[in-house]
Amino acid sequence: MSECLFCRVVAGEIPADIGYHDDEFIAFRDIDPQAPVHILVIPREHHPTAAALAAADSDLAGRLVATATSIAEDAGVGGYRLVVNTGAEGGQTVPHVHVHILGGRNMTWPPG
Ligand code: AMP
Ligand code: ZN
């Protein structure tokens, strides 16, 4: 059994609210949403970080961004933010590369 949380989601060992899947990627709702729409898009294949993915397979990295954009465009929000936290200091807590789609509220910074 994999020790990677998101590999376990891919394997169906941990339940997730999966709204999209294809041969290469799955997307599911974040368990602790930071916005009304908060979706995670991950490759089925394990790569620890965006940098590792880009180095190993830049075409897959490109398709990950394209897939996240397509899911975000279909989410019915006026705009959105794609976030890829990288490394512990970058706020990454799950070492399996994932794109956060955040939207459904005003995402401008600073708020207000
Ligand atoms: P990051 O901090 O960028 O690594 O993002 C990891 C994200 O995974 C966080 O936003 C968590 O809320 C989310 N998360 C952790 N466990 C689960 C889970 N079992 N199902 C869905 N989302 C999860
Ligand atoms: Zn993994």
Q: Tens of pLDDT along 29-74?
A: 999 999 999 999 999 999 999 999 999 999 999 999 999 999 999 9
The dihedrals phi and psi of 89, each to the nearest 5 degrees, come to -70, -20
pTM greater than the 0.75 cutoff: yes
Asked whether residue 23 is domain-assigned, the answer is: yes
**Mean pLDDT on 74-94:** 96
Token pair in block for residue 19: 């709204």
Asked whether residue 66 is domain-assigned, the answer is: yes
Lookup result for tokens 């376990």 = 8
- pLDDT for residue 99: 98
Instruction: Identify the residues whose C-beta falls under 6 Å from ligand 1.
Output: 5, 14, 16, 28, 30-32, 40, 85, 91-94
Which ligand does the CA of 46 lie closest to? 2
11: DSSP letter: T
Token pair in block for residue 69: 């954009």
pLDDT class of 24 with cuts at 50, 70, 90: very high
Which ligand does the CA of 53 lie closest to? 2
The domain that holds 42 is classified in CATH as 3.30.428.10
**Mean pLDDT on 66-87:** 96
Split into its structural domains, the chain has a count of: 1
98 is catalytic: yes
- pLDDT for residue 107: 85
Rg of the Cα atoms in the chain: 14
Asked whether residue 110 is domain-assigned, the answer is: no
Asked whether residue 91 is domain-assigned, the answer is: yes
Cα–Cα distances (Å) from 68 to 1, 20, 31, 73, in that order, read 27, 10, 18, 9
Domain range for 97: 5-103
